[in-house]
Structure 1
Amino acid sequence: MGFEYFVAKKYLRSKQKTTFVKLSLITYISTIGVMIGVAALIIALSVANGFEHEVRSRIIGFDAHVKLRTYHDRGISDYERVVQRMDSLKSVVGAGPYLSGKGMIASGAGGKEFVKIKAIDPERESKVTNLINNVIYGSLDLGMIKPKEDDKSDREYPGILIGKWLADRLQASVGDRVQVLSAAGIDLGAFSSLPRMRTYRVAGWFETGLYEYDDIYAFISIEEGQKLFEMPGKVTGIQIKLDDLEKATEFSARLNDQLGYPYWSITWFDLNKNLFSWMELEKIMIFLVLSLIILVAAFNIVGTLIMVVMEKRRDIGILKSMGAMASSVMKIFVYQGLFAGLIGAALGLVLGYVFGWSQMKYEWLSIPGDVYIVSALPMRMESIDFVMIATAAVLLCFSATVYPAYKASKLDPIEAIRDQ
């Protein structure tokens, strides 16, 4: 390595009792600024990644990787054969039929809510989603449910699984009777129909941690769904779980080509595209906003180097009179700025990593579990973030050195020495 590196290093370590001591202090402040900016970026993006991972895992746990449906929602009549065919495909872990629709649910306590109703096969559902693991009270038994001891009626009704928030608003506990009205009504002739109503007993509550699901979804059996939605012998579609969710888009396209009309498929990502696009945009905005901290530190480096050039005019003149090229003088100040950037970036990476690692291991920073989907601040550190942030910090610091280094390289050696 050339002499430029050693001169730059000497300037950083200078202990002369001059104004350069103040310059060194500014350099340290600039380095700390870079460190804080890098650490803040690492922590903020790791938190964003953590929340995205939590939301993603809950959505995937609640829904299938791929859904197979028919155009115009005519339903699938030979769904058992289709399910068997899906099960036989490579990379498919499990498949199961489902029906979906909208309706209104009412409880004996007087609560009435609009709901999204999904009819499932509980046995097959466990192979496709993690719904059974989200049951927090009662069970996933959607068969005939016996009445509670204090119930005046001794009649058994089919079971229904409802979300925790929905249960709270309905004031409905396990064993309580609820009535469900479906938009698929009984035809009374021209221009009129009567909503179809079925009675159920609450089999249990589920909680995913996502309010959009826990507040509006209810599950019943396939047989009950066919009665409620007037689809005898049919289902809305087939839900499919793959061995790798990242294969969903490729698998869906291949499925569309193989099956053709009237079938079409959609992936979990397509169903939640707006949500994940918003999360990606949020991370970009976090990166841009917090990069301003590093940018401010870079401007400090510009100011520091300009003052160093003014302080070291005589040294620069002597170096150039001894034969140092303009490019060599420029390198000295570029190295000096890069030292501050590299040291600050390295310290920031370490600080951000230590914070993230300690939070993941000990969860010492808690957040309200009833407001957010988790009770501790989620962290998910990704190597690509470390590389991008470190690269951006070093490039900003390098850019900050160009102007003062260029000015130093253009100094006239005779005038620089004579001025001193």
Structure 2
Amino acid sequence: MQPYELFIGLRYTRAKRRNHFISFISMISMLGIGLGVMALIVVLSVMNGFQKEIRARILGVTPHLQVMSDSGQLNDWQHVLGIVARDPEVRAAAPYVDGQGMVSLNESVQGVMVRGILPDAEQRLTGLGDKMKNGALGDLRAGSFNIVLGVDLARALGAHVGDTVLLITPQGQITPAGMLPRLKQFHVAGIFEIGMSPYDNALALINLEDAQKLYRMGNSVSGISGSLHNLDLAPQVAYKLEDKLPKDTYATDWTRQNANYFSVVAMEKRMMFIILSLIVLVAAFNIVSTLVMAVTDKQADIAILRTMGASPRSIMQIFMVQGMLIGLIGMATGVIGGVLIALNIGTIVPFIEQLFGVHFLSKEFYYISELPSDLQKADVFVVAGMSFLISLLATLYPSWRAAKIQPAEALRYE
């Protein structure tokens, strides 16, 4: 047994109509809602994939947590390192030295960000050793004055493993001829590739002790890097550490250091959601048109139902069932199609590229050359709920008009 409103609403949806144009508009409404829902799920999954990929590449060389001094040099860094390492959320911690310079080879000169590291500790922090194209990160031994370059930086210099480059630092030394920059020869021990232009183009790694000598820092370092078991807790851990650190030091985390990247991606995701929601909204207007014409087409039936004792509320529910069924079918079709495409986008996009002989994300112009996808259940539920709500609201006015039809007026010319 089922309520007669539901029975009649389902029967109206399945029945053949005298006006075939109404059936055509109903089909267009279903397809429009399905297309909008599918597009929303796929686009949000791709945006999630880009955000996840960018975050992974940034954190491939950037630590989750950094502790620095207001003066730019951390003198008692062993004490600070102990404070950071003892935190239960910190997986690994190590000192580092940051500096600027210029690398020269033959007639090529490139500006670089120089970072002094401990190779073993850096591997535990960021796994940078896994991104080496040539050579090994462990070759950065103290006193060897070896250097590891980003792949694009090495290409611009024309440098290969085994070459000798000249590193020029802005910290000058006073000579009888005046202030001259400091020069030091380094041997290229390896080349890495992160996949992010700011690092591949301008980052050079040397041993921590070599960096301390090069920049005349004595036993001081620029700061302490830390990696966490759960990188999403970085802001909370940084805030908690500041209460334990010395007064002249402070803690920062990866969310603040790279806020621009992630805020742009988040803004683009919100805008794409709003823009693509208009597809569902347009399809909902088609539902309104379908039901208005259905009400006109069924005026005699409505009048008969009213004379048999059906209340205006029951008439309204009959047409709401009809409109909601159109929305549910469109939503279900879109969810199934969107989920299938989002889960298989890594196969679909290469097939389309091969079929038409194009490449959507060329390695020459984009950081990410493959279209990533990260399907999240929350996005699917939000999109499905939003489309269902829009479909429900679209049924209210036509159903209200049906409930206002007077039997005598509707049957006058029958």
TM-score bracket, normalised by the shorter chain, equals over 0.9
**Structure 1 residue 228: deviation in Å?**
2.2
Alignment of 1:321-336 (within 5 A): 321-336=307-322
Asked if 1:132 is matched to 2:126, the reply is no
* Match of residue 98, structure 2, among 100, 104, 107: 100
Comparing 302-311 and 81-90, the one that deviates more: 81-90
**Secondary structure, in 3 states, of the residue corresponding to 2:103?**
strand
The corresponding residue for 1:418 is 412
Asked if 1:29 is matched to 2:28, the reply is yes
CA contact (8 A) 2:83 2:244 kept: no
Q: For 2:273 and 2:330, how far apart are their aligned partners in 1? A: 17
Alignment of 1:45-194 (within 5 A): 45-73=44-72, 75-108=73-106, 110-140=107-137, 141-143=139-141, 158-187=145-174, 193-194=179-180
Q: For 2:316 and 2:163, how far apart are their aligned partners in 1? A: 81
Q: For 1:188 and 1:278, how far apart are their aligned partners in 2? A: 48
Q: For 1:131 and 1:257, how far apart are their aligned partners in 2? A: 31
Asked if 1:274 is matched to 2:260, the reply is yes
**Structure 1 residue 124: deviation in Å?**
1.1
Q: For 2:162 and 2:220, how far apart are their aligned partners in 1? A: 29
**Secondary structure, in 3 states, of the residue corresponding to 1:300?**
helix
Q: For 1:201 and 1:322, how far apart are their aligned partners in 2? A: 96
CA distances 1:64-118 after superposition (whole Å, capped 9, x unpaired) = 1100001131x1123234323432321221111101122211112x111111111
Q: For 2:212 and 2:297, how far apart are their aligned partners in 1? A: 85
Q: For 1:144 and 1:160, how far apart are their aligned partners in 2? A: 11
Q: For 2:295 and 2:134, how far apart are their aligned partners in 1? A: 72
The corresponding residue for 1:154 is none
One-letter identity of the residue aligned with 1:179 = L
**Structure 1 residue 283: deviation in Å?**
0.4
**Structure 1 residue 364: deviation in Å?**
4.3
One-letter identity of the residue aligned with 1:345 = M
The corresponding residue for 1:350 is 336
One-letter identity of the residue aligned with 1:62 = V
**Structure 1 residue 144: deviation in Å?**
7.7
Alignment of 1:354-393 (within 5 A): 354-360=340-346, 364=350, 367-393=361-387
Q: For 1:278 and 1:293, how far apart are their aligned partners in 2? A: 24
When the two chains are superposed, the root-mean-square deviation of aligned CA atoms in Å is 1.9
One-letter identity of the residue aligned with 2:122 = E
Stretches of structure 2 that go unaligned for 5 or more consecutive residues are 354-360
CA distances 1:272-304 after superposition (whole Å, capped 9, x unpaired) = 111101111010011111111111111111111
**Secondary structure, in 3 states, of the residue corresponding to 1:119?**
strand
CA distances 1:1-32 after superposition (whole Å, capped 9, x unpaired) = 4211111111111124x21x221121011101
Q: For 1:268 and 1:361, how far apart are their aligned partners in 2? A: 32
Q: For 2:411 and 2:221, how far apart are their aligned partners in 1? A: 90
The corresponding residue for 2:402 is 408
CA distances 1:317-359 after superposition (whole Å, capped 9, x unpaired) = 1112222111111111111111111111111111111112223
Alignment of 1:276-295 (within 5 A): 276-295=262-281
Q: For 2:186 and 2:105, how far apart are their aligned partners in 1? A: 10
**Structure 1 residue 368: deviation in Å?**
3.4
Q: For 2:161 and 2:44, how far apart are their aligned partners in 1? A: 42
CA distances 1:109-148 after superposition (whole Å, capped 9, x unpaired) = x111111111111121111112111111122112389xxx
Stretches of structure 1 that go unaligned for 5 or more consecutive residues are 146-156
One-letter identity of the residue aligned with 1:401 = T
**Structure 1 residue 61: deviation in Å?**
1.9
Work out the percentage of aligned pairs sharing the same amino acid. 36
The corresponding residue for 2:15 is 14
The corresponding residue for 1:150 is none
**Structure 1 residue 360: deviation in Å?**
4.9
Q: For 2:95 and 2:142, how far apart are their aligned partners in 1? A: 20
Q: For 1:4 and 1:223, how far apart are their aligned partners in 2? A: 81
TM-score by length of 2: 0.93
Q: For 2:307 and 2:61, how far apart are their aligned partners in 1? A: 74
Q: For 1:404 and 1:182, how far apart are their aligned partners in 2? A: 75
CA contact (8 A) 2:142 2:209 kept: no
One-letter identity of the residue aligned with 1:88 = R
Comparing 234-243 and 55-64, the one that deviates more: 55-64
TM-score by length of 1: 0.91
**Secondary structure, in 3 states, of the residue corresponding to 1:182?**
strand
**Structure 1 residue 375: deviation in Å?**
4.4
Comparing 95-104 and 318-327, the one that deviates more: 318-327
**Secondary structure, in 3 states, of the residue corresponding to 1:184?**
strand
Q: For 1:334 and 1:415, how far apart are their aligned partners in 2? A: 23
Comparing 384-393 and 353-362, the one that deviates more: 353-362
Matched length: 403
The corresponding residue for 1:232 is 218
Q: For 1:66 and 1:29, how far apart are their aligned partners in 2? A: 53
Runs of 4+ in 1 over 6 A off after TM superposition: none
Q: For 2:401 and 2:320, how far apart are their aligned partners in 1? A: 12
**Secondary structure, in 3 states, of the residue corresponding to 2:344?**
helix
**Structure 1 residue 374: deviation in Å?**
4.3
**Structure 1 residue 187: deviation in Å?**
4.7
One-letter identity of the residue aligned with 1:268 = W
Q: For 1:4 and 1:188, how far apart are their aligned partners in 2? A: 97
CA contact (8 A) 2:37 2:387 kept: yes
**Structure 1 residue 370: deviation in Å?**
4.5
Q: For 2:288 and 2:345, how far apart are their aligned partners in 1? A: 36
Q: For 1:353 and 1:408, how far apart are their aligned partners in 2? A: 37
The corresponding residue for 1:208 is 194
CA distances 1:145-181 after superposition (whole Å, capped 9, x unpaired) = 9xxxxxxxxxxx6111111111111111111111112
